[in-house]
Structure 1
Amino acid sequence: MNLRQLLNQVYQHSGIDHKRDIKRLTPHMPTLAAGLHPNGDDTAALPHPYGHTLLAIEGFIEEFVEHDPWFAGWCGVMVNISDIAAMGGRPSAIVNAIWDKGGSKAELLMQGMCDAANTYGVSLVGGHTNLRANSTQLAVAILGHAHHLLSSFSARPGQVLVAAIDLRGEYRAPFLNWNAATSAPPARLRGDIALLPEIAELKLATAAKDISQAGLLGTAVMLLECSGVGAEIDLNAIPRPNAAPWADWLCSFPSFGYLLTTDRAQLPALLEKFQARDIAAAEIGRIIREPILNVRDGEAYESFWNLSTSSLTGLGPSPTQLPTTPLEKRPCPL
């Protein structure tokens, strides 16, 4: 499979389609009050005298919840904590909403959430239960706090793009969930998550985003869209497990995976923070002014997404606010 074929396959990934669906609702979002952080980041960020209060919620795909309810419950806690960390924050408390028919899967969902909450040291403080529903569904919300924000709106042309991913895991079949968490020591997981607020407070990065169901490239597009910039990524610089083919890895949802942007002067210190905890971290590209995501694989060079012609979530600058200079390479297939 050549680079163009690979990017076309990733472009059709269902995780990206879920993010694309956001664009249907974006026009109906109310205008935010002055001083509030814009929509489009991993969490809402509400001004606080000592930083920001962070608020987020995650809903889960029914097929995943039905197939693996314990792990879905675990992920309900884990991905919310990851969203708080991506904003440079620390988690405070979690609530949930569980719907089930009969309650047997609800018990597994709850056990998974409790196990993850205990592992990460976060309190599960309440929620809503309906055991007379027609299907099993899960949503989990979280509250946190950040002294200094990392944000998808803070990437700047000329910065370095970094990927930090915990490769000490394996796929949890049948989905492309790279699980490096459920068998890891709790102290290690807590220390790893604590890296992100430490990085924020030391100002070693400006922008960050948790690698989500959209995969690494889809997550990169969301970050770039918020900042109104583009990027060039070197495929072979991306940290990757030896056994994972690119077509799977670029669509994977790692239990610990982040994209960050930083100035080159801060790059060595940023990489050292992750490498000191045995987390794979590398410079994978650079931020450019043109709103397009290009990918290089050796001598091959192709475009994955052209934000000047097609938004993903609709939560970044409008096309009229983006640069009008000629874009690099060809646009992605639309």
Structure 2
Amino acid sequence: MQSQGEFDLIAQYFKRPAPSGMLGIGDDCALLSPAQGWDLAVSTDMLVEGRHFFADGDPRLLGHKALAVNLSDLAAMGARPLACTLAISLPRVDADWLQAFADGFHALSRDAHCPLIGGDTTGGADQIILSITVMGEVRRHQALRRAAARLGDDLWVSGTLGAADIALRLMLGSLPPDPARLALCRNALEAPMPRLKLGRYLAGVAHAAIDISDGLLQDLGHLLDASQCAADLWLDFLPAHAALQGLDEAVRRDALLAGGDAYELCFAAHPRRREQIDTLSRQLALPITRVGTLRSGSGLRVLDAQGQEVSIQRRGFDHFAAPL
């Protein structure tokens, strides 16, 4: 059987017609134009086999997640997707793997209205490496920048926390085998859904936002540093996924505060927006929970129901720690 070259591989698995008004795969560069009065938002993420995903994972789910984690960055800025590019390094060409990966990627690409318009493929190291760039547009002066939070703002979190972290622990064997619990939370790890609609609604409503990819404490810390303020986080108000029920309290707390791969939005908004955000939660059928407040000073305090500060052991995911 004749091996596929780079351009054959691109044509078979990744090339799709570009939307009207764009120039997609086939030229040296793609061309796209954001609407007048809008800013272009761009973000790039890299996923490495053994670091960010298991070598024997479902390639269709990996295709979905590879794009989802990038779209989550657009959501955090309040941007709507325009297009994306994909660079992929493969140790070998596996037609079945590529077809499943492409199917998962294109399914989310279609649902999110984020067409693939370019990229690169190559043979390389012993592991698969994926690099995706997403482009979106957000109305001028309405992007949810990390540096725009204000003293006295409420802190909010969408969805629930901890499920992906518990799924990873179960798959790594750091928790005792529990098939029922894994079935409850595995989808959160392998097929997260970026909160694009929420992000777009928050543009012009919230002051600042960040997506929770490396753990609530770590990611919220980036927002606080950028905004030069501090925060109190209310431990008992954090929205825990059902998969955390019955776990040891230390494990549960760690999953809530430091568990990565949540891809929910944490955002800051003025207290007068509470009713508006509660209405938005009902309209989207998505839990949006007020979990803290911003204050002067520096640092992040986690408080229990009695207002006592909780000791923290871990703040989030370390990209340079031991691999999977």
TM-score (norm 2): 0.69
1:156, 1:178 → 2: CA distance? 36
Q: Is the Cα–Cα contact under 8 Å of residues 155 and 206 in structure 1 kept in the other structure? A: yes
Structure 2 counterpart of 1:72, which letter?
Answer: L
Q: CA RMSD in A?
A: 3.1
Q: Is the Cα–Cα contact under 8 Å of residues 77 and 143 in structure 2 kept in the other structure? A: yes
Q: How far apart are 1:194 and its partner, in Å?
A: 1.8
Partner of 1:60: 47
Q: Is the Cα–Cα contact under 8 Å of residues 78 and 255 in structure 1 kept in the other structure? A: no
Closer, same or farther in 2 for the Cα pair 1:90/1:178, shift >3 Å? farther
Q: Where does the alignment leave 5 or more consecutive residues of structure 1 unmatched?
A: 1-46, 306-311, 313-334
Q: How far apart are 1:256 and its partner, in Å?
A: 4.5
Partner of 1:218: 218
Structure 1 counterpart of 2:81, which letter?
Answer: P
Counterpart pick for 1:196 among 177, 196, 199:
199
Partner of 2:241: 241
Counterpart pick for 1:86 among 63, 69, 76:
76
Q: Is the Cα–Cα contact under 8 Å of residues 73 and 111 in structure 1 kept in the other structure? A: yes
Structure 2 counterpart of 1:53, which letter?
Answer: L
Closer, same or farther in 2 for the Cα pair 1:304/1:230, shift >3 Å? farther
Structure 2 counterpart of 1:237, which letter?
Answer: F
2:54, 2:137 → 1: CA distance? 28
Q: Is the Cα–Cα contact under 8 Å of residues 84 and 134 in structure 2 kept in the other structure? A: yes
Structure 2 residue 302 is the aligned partner of structure 1 residue 301: no
What's the secondary structure of 1:121's corresponding residue? coil
Q: Is the Cα–Cα contact under 8 Å of residues 179 and 255 in structure 1 kept in the other structure? A: no
Structure 2 counterpart of 1:75, which letter?
Answer: K
2:276, 2:299 → 1: CA distance? 28
Closer, same or farther in 2 for the Cα pair 1:254/1:62, shift >3 Å? closer
Q: How far apart are 1:119 and its partner, in Å?
A: 3.0
Structure 2 residue 78 is the aligned partner of structure 1 residue 75: no
2:78, 2:198 → 1: CA distance? 9
Closer, same or farther in 2 for the Cα pair 1:125/1:166, shift >3 Å? farther
Q: How far apart are 1:297 and its partner, in Å?
A: 1.4
Q: Is the Cα–Cα contact under 8 Å of residues 101 and 133 in structure 1 kept in the other structure? A: yes
Q: How far apart are 1:113 and its partner, in Å?
A: 1.4
Q: Is the Cα–Cα contact under 8 Å of residues 79 and 143 in structure 2 kept in the other structure? A: yes
| CA deviations over 1:69-119 (Å, ceiling 9, x no partner) | 433321121111111111111010011111111122444433331222123
1:178, 1:225 → 2: CA distance? 32
Counterpart pick for 1:261 among 261, 264, 268:
268
Partner of 1:97: 87
Q: How far apart are 1:48 and its partner, in Å?
A: 8.3
Closer, same or farther in 2 for the Cα pair 1:57/1:101, shift >3 Å? same
More strand by share: 1
2:229, 2:43 → 1: CA distance? 25
2:159, 2:296 → 1: CA distance? 26
| CA deviations over 1:269-325 (Å, ceiling 9, x no partner) | 1132123322111111111111110001123314659xxxxxx9xxxxxxxxxxxxx
2:64, 2:272 → 1: CA distance? 37
Structure 2 residue 162 is the aligned partner of structure 1 residue 159: no
What's the secondary structure of 2:274's corresponding residue? helix
Q: How far apart are 1:65 and its partner, in Å?
A: 5.2
Instruction: Name which of structure 1's ranges 254-263 and 173-182 shifts more when overlaid on structure 2.
Output: 173-182
Q: Is the Cα–Cα contact under 8 Å of residues 166 and 254 in structure 1 kept in the other structure? A: no
Q: How far apart are 1:149 and its partner, in Å?
A: 0.8
Partner of 1:140: 132
Structure 2 residue 299 is the aligned partner of structure 1 residue 292: yes
TM-score (norm 1): 0.67
Partner of 1:36: none
What's the secondary structure of 1:276's corresponding residue? helix
Partner of 2:26: none
Please give the residue correspondences for 1:323-334 in structure 2 after superposition, counting only pairs within 5 Å: none
